[in-house]
Chain A
Amino acid sequence: MLSVFAQAEIPDIQWLPLIPHLVMAGAAVVLLTIVSLAGSRLPGWFASVFTMAAGLGVLATAIPVWIRVSQWGPHSAVADSIGVDQFSVFIIVVLACTVILTALVADGFLHRESLDGPAFYVLLMLSAAGGITMASANNLIVLFLGLEILSLAVYVLVAMHLRRAESQEAGIKYFVLGAFASAFLLYGIALVYGATGSLNLIEIEGILQNSDLSDNGLLLAGMGMLLVGFGFKVAAVPFHAWTPDVYQGAPSPVVSYMAAGVKAAGFAAMLRVFFGGFGGLADDWQPVVFGLAIASLAVGSMLAIVQTDVKRILAYSSISHAGFILVGVQAATDDGVASVLFYLAAYAAMAIGSFAVITLVSGPGDEGTGLDSLRGLAARHPLLAAAFTVLLLSQAGIPFTVGFWAKFEVITAAVDARSFWLAVIAMLAAVVAAFLYLRIVVAMFLDAPDPDAPRLRIPRGPALAITIVVLFTLAFGIYPEPILDLADHAQLTLQHFSAR
């Protein structure tokens, strides 16, 4: 037994590539400390401004990491367990932007609901730190830890509206199903470990190249269970049952973070494990992802039509977006990875914007989320209605919006990978889904507003957030090259640490 311990050695830690992780997690701890010491002497805006500053700090520290990777090529840090590559930096940037925008949206919401306090922001940053870890993990246990840090914080965020029974119901539903899915993911990790003898994705990739394990029952069962776990986190059918309930019950700014951040981290980890680690076994997992993609596209688009609650409609639409992203994953090519990254960035912007509008419209208590509350929004507040229309059209994939390029890229990747049927079904699903977005637009523009509806007050934070995402949607819808280039450069390659 002692000999086993003698083998263990302290890894040489390279701090520079870890700085974005440390800033995000450290900021949460620092904020908690400051608030518990200074308490009520701090101004009300402190926590939200601090969170935005932390997000900007992560963006700033991600730049030197990106430059370092472009010079040195992808490598790993901390005994090969954290991947330092452009892929992870891209996801770090998406998550940091998500945190900044969510903090902007949440500020007015928390005040309106008398939920003021640092708890929301601390949990938001902790969750994003978990997401960053998950997206850059080259070790399956590190990936699991990142996933749990991400999820545990989100369970609390979902249930944090203590005066709303729906929020708590959503919290317990998400928690129980999330814990169930985590257990499956963990069992999958254990089985993969048993089959390959390693927890490290780089080593697993090498082992799979050198020996044929394509009919190893343990490995296949492990991959299946990992897929269940990831399928749950990204809300892919048939693991989507929680999504409409949780999106409807959770506080709206939390939903915007879940739709943008949790999905991005989940898909990043999924790509790392399946495209990176199990890339050699693509023939085994591609058909399963194919099935998940078709099911998500079909169920997401169809069931959204019969919903009457806007948050539920957008929940089903997020399921159908997960289907589109899975189309890019299924391609299992470098172009597929780039298309997934582009889609994640575009969807993050559209989702945050849409749920920000719903946060404003739903009114006190987060009650008015029915389609009725949007009727005649164009008469009540033309600018807000116009912004929401742009975001919805972008989600539908209308040309000159960023959503069009996102769908275009994943479908191109699928065609290049010769998955023609999947491409055809994705295009059909886009047509069906367009109907549901138009339904919301029609309600806003053609119906008369409720004469008793209170005047809409739009705080500065959400107004700024919505402006940013609408500009993003239009600017990169007309000229998408910058982000496409970044996504193309952000290739996923797993590399051992190379000392230089």
Chain B
Amino acid sequence: MVTASWYLILAAGLFTIGAVGLLVRRNPLIMFMCVELMLNAVNLTFITFGRELGDIGGQVSVFFVLVVAAAEVVVGLAIVVAINRRRPQATADDLSALRG
């Protein structure tokens, strides 16, 4: 019997993978993928709770999160493209002009 807690644990696992990946990976594109993973883990949590509670709110939230995630990628990729024009193949470690 697969209960709701299995889905919640899976979502928590995905969220953790995304969070750790964002912190350890240096390629900006992979960092974006990690953000997407975190947001989709939240979506899974919303759907699970929505079904458990018999409430439409959880599923509606997922649509909003999907739109936000898409908009976030658009903005993020635009910034990456702008940086790559100036410095091809830049990783997060190369961006270190600002420190102090």
Point out residues on A near B: beta carbons under 8 Å. 4-5, 7-8, 141, 144-145, 148, 152, 155-156, 159, 162, 165-166, 168-173, 175-176, 179-180, 182-183, 186-187, 189-191, 193-194, 197-199, 244-245, 248-249, 307-309, 312
Contact = CB atoms under 8 A, between A and B. Distances in A.
Interface string B15-42: 1001100100000100110010011011
Nearest to B72: A179
B78 A312 contact: no
Contacts of A244: 98, 100
Contacts of B82: 159, 162, 168, 171
Given A148-B68, A173-B95, A168 B18 contact: no
Interface string B58-84: 101100110010011001101110110
A2 to B, nearest CB: 12
Contacts of B48: 194
A159 B39 contact: no
Contact of B98 (A166, A180, A199): A166
Which of A155, A186, A309 is most buried by chain B, counting CB atoms within 10 A of its CB?
Answer: A186
A152 B71 contact: yes
Contact of B80 (A172, A180, A190, A245): A172
A156 B75 contact: yes
Closest 7 CB pairs of A and B: A183-B38, A194-B49, A245-B98, A190-B45, A169-B95, A179-B35, A148-B68
Given A176-B31, A183-B15, 18 more contacts: A4-B54, A7-B56, A145-B64, A148-B68, A148-B71, A155-B76, A172-B80, A176-B28, A176-B35, A176-B92, A193-B57, A194-B45, A194-B52, A244-B98, A244-B100, A248-B100, A249-B98, A308-B100
Contacts of B45: 187, 190-191, 194
Contacts of A172: 28, 76, 79-80, 83, 92, 95
A183 B68 CA distance: 11
Which of A148, A155, A169 is most buried by chain B, counting CB atoms within 10 A of its CB?
Answer: A169
Contacts of A312: 100
How would you classify the secondary structure of chain B's contact residues: helix, strand, loop or mixed?
helix
B33 to A, nearest CB: 11
A199 B57 contact: yes
Which of A5, A8, A179 is most buried by chain B, counting CB atoms within 10 A of its CB?
Answer: A179
15 contacts: A141-B57, A165-B97, A168-B82, A175-B79, A176-B35, A183-B39, A183-B42, A186-B39, A186-B65, A187-B15, A187-B42, A191-B45, A193-B61, A248-B100, A312-B100
A248 B99 CA distance: 9
Nearest to B53: A197
B64 to A, nearest CB: 6
Given A159-B79, A172-B95, A176-B31, A187 B38 contact: yes
Contacts, number: 125
Nearest to A197: B53
Contacts of B18: 183
A148 B67 CA distance: 11
Nearest to B38: A183
Nearest to B8: A194
Nearest to A162: B82
A196 to B, nearest CB: 10
A165 B61 CA distance: 37
A144 B53 contact: no
A181 to B, nearest CB: 10
A11 B78 CA distance: 37
B79 A180 contact: no
Given A183-B39, A190-B49, A168 B86 contact: yes
Contacts of A249: 97-98
A443 B83 CA distance: 35
A189 B62 CA distance: 12
A54 to B, nearest CB: 22
A146 to B, nearest CB: 11
Contacts of A186: 39, 42, 65
A159 B39 CA distance: 23
Given A144-B68, A183-B38, A307 B76 contact: no
